[in-house]
Structures are given as structure tokens and as C-alpha cells.
Amino acid sequence: MGTHAVDHGLERVAAEARAALVREIEASGAWEADPVWREAFEAVPRHLFVPYYYVGALGGFERLWGEERDPRRRERWLRGAYADTPLATRVRDGELISSSSQPSLMAKMLVELEVTDGDRVLEIGAGTGYNAALLAHRLGDELVTTVDLDIDITESARQHLAAAGYHPSVVTGDGARGVPERAPYDRIIATCTLHSIPRPWLAQCTPGARILAPMATGLIRLRVRDGGHAEGRFLHTPAYFVPLRGGSEPEAAHPHLGGLPRRARDHELFRFLISLTAGSLDPREALALWERERMPSRERYGITVSGETAWAWLDDPEGPYSWPLP
């Protein structure tokens, strides 16, 4: 980014906005289990990672950026950079392809990743580089790797990270294949929605590693036993991310729900079940199960990966309700 923020004395506004964001995240309870992350959010300047972003406007998107001539618009850009909301950072042909996630959700995910000093972390989906900076602040540059399929995204992330004083490994490649040359990893975190669990990730993990990833409007947290087996449950937290792009990820199925009662098709937890079981469970069968089980919450569901087989389940991996994953 340019020098307007310095030339026009917006450092104070940035510091105030960052402090307000930290207080808002703290009030949400996101890092109660690991308050060390507060220091990272206090230290890493988010505005350096979003020199421009898009906000919804009539008929499309409005671009805000740090090089605005109007000082009021520059301040609007700067304050917006510290709002506890996701920011659209790349739009192609009217479609969102990259964003900076909601900071309080990022904080929640980082806490749930359960990192400890010395852990090697792989991030799938470089985005703006902000999440990699938070990880690098906590663990050190040499222990953090972030990967993205789009060279424009990785180049921008690398520049943003350098501007903020961080230098983790930024790799251009298919995130579904991992980054074997930097393995093994103690933690893998994805910032893009999956439709299946890529097997190369397990092979690149140490025994006992954690994988945290968005799937089916939720967050799955897996414990890796070895290169062929992982299992875990969903968190209760809803999560909506752009899909993982790459050759190893199948297209998501979108079953038609028009014939179902509105109370079901508009319910967040029913849509979670439909997304999780897409291609395996007929929507009417899903409705019958959902009503019979009294609208089960996300944390009752889990995923098991064993060899070439993977399945989602309700309550028990060996119980009566299970569905194959791609």
C-alpha cells in the first residue's frame, strides 16, 4: 500500500480501531481457552493485509482502498479493515474467490487448533496473509507454511506479510495436495470449505496432529492417528468460507429443497445436514432423520477417515447413522 495512512496521521485511528477489535473479540469469548492469541491480534496490523476490499453495493461491489484521495473514504477504509466482519478481497466475474475471514471466527479457529510452542503448521488458503501472520507471530516464521492455488493471491500475501514484518513460507500450489516438501506438520488449518478430507494431509501429519477445516457450514476438528486414519467431531460454531479450489476436490452437490417444508429448508442445522450428506442422503430422508433426532446440533456429527474410506456420522462412528464422503 502507499503512504497515505502515514501522511494523513491515520496511525492513531488504526491503533484505536485495532484495540476496539481486540476488545470485541475478547467479549465474544473466542480466546478464553488460550488468551496468548490476544497478543497476536494486538500486534498484527490487519489494514496492511487489506489495502483494498469490496463492500456490497447496489448491483455489485464498491471498492474501498487505502489510496483514496478523499480522507473521509480513507478513514472509512481503515475503520472497515478492523470491523469484526469478513472482507471480500478478490472478486472475479462477480464471484468472490478470496476474502479475509471474520477476525473473531479466526480467533476461535486458532484457539481450537490447540497449537503449542514448536508446532509446525500448514495453512490451506493463504488469503491476504493475515492468518499466517497471526500464526507466525505466535510460533515464528520458520514453523508456518501457507499455500494457495492462485499465484496472484500468494504474491499479494507475501507482500502483505513482508510489509508487516513476517516471513513464513508462502507456496503456490494445490492445497488439497498439501506441501510435502515442508512436512511433517503438527497442525493443519484450512480457511476454505472442503467437501472431503484430502488424504495427502494425513500422510504429511505427525501422529497425534490436529486438522481443523470448514466443511458443510461447520468446522471439523480431526485428530490424526497416523497417515491412514483420522477422526473427530464438528464444533458447534457455524462457518462459511469460499470453497477449496484444486484438482483434488469434487464439485459440491446442491440438492433441490423446494418440496420440503420451509421450517426445515430455512433452518441452519437442517442445511448443515443436507450439505454434509449431499449425494448420500435424499432430502426427504434427511428431513425424516432430522425430525426424528430432534434437530441435532453440529457437535453431534463427526467424520472418520480410515484408509481409502471416509464417512460422516451422527453420534457414533459405528452407529446406525453414517454416510460416505467423497
* Average confidence (pLDDT) over 27-51: 93
Report the pLDDT value the prediction gives residue 68, as an integer from 0 to 100: 84
The C-alpha atoms of residue 236 and residue 247 are separated, in whole angstroms, by 30
Per the CB < 8 A criterion, the answer to whether 172 and 148 are in contact is: yes
Question: Letter for the amino acid at 76?
Answer: R
Q: For residues 269 and 288, give the distance between their C-alpha atoms in angstroms, rounded to a whole number.
A: 14
Give the global pTM: 0.91
Strand partners, 87: 100
Q: Which three cell numbers stand for residue 218?
A: 461447520
For residue 265, what is its C-alpha cell?
429448508
Q: At what angle do helices 36-43 and 103-113 cross, to 10 degrees?
A: 140
Q: Which three cell numbers stand for residue 297?
A: 446440533
Coil, helix or strand for 113? Answer: helix
- Say if residues 272 and 215 touch (Cβ distance below 8 Å): no
Whole-number pLDDT of residue 5: 43
What does the pLDDT look like over 151-198, one tens digit per residue? Answer: 999 999 999 999 999 999 999 999 999 999 999 999 999 999 998 999
The three cell numbers locating residue 133:
501472520
Contact 111, 134 (CB under 8 A): no
Measured between alpha carbons, how far is 146 from 149 in angstroms, rounded to an integer? Answer: 11
64 pLDDT above the threshold of 80: yes
- Mean confidence (pLDDT) of the chain: 90
pLDDT band, very low/low/confident/very high, at 3 (cuts 50, 70, 90): very low
- Domains belonging to the chain, first-starting first, are 4-234 (3.40.50.150), 262-324 (no CATH)
pLDDT (average), residues 20-30: 94
> Is-catalytic flag, 98?
yes
User: Left, alpha or beta for 93 (phi > 0: left; psi -120 to 50: alpha)?
Assistant: left
**pLDDT-derived band at 53, boundaries 50, 70, 90:** very high
Distances (CA, A) of 134 to 29, 38, 90, 263: 18, 10, 21, 40
The confidence score (pLDDT) of residue 11 equals: 86
Q: Give per-residue pLDDT as tens, 190-231.
A: 999 998 999 999 999 999 999 999 999 999 999 999 999 999
The residue with greater pLDDT, 136 or 282, is 136
What percent of the chain stands above pLDDT 90?
74
Alpha carbon distance, N-terminus to C-terminus of the chain: 42
Q: Is 246 a residue whose pLDDT tops 80?
A: no
Residue 6 has pLDDT above 80, yes or no: no
- Active-site hit among 98, 101, 156, 275: 98
The CA distance from 239 to 141, in Å, is: 27
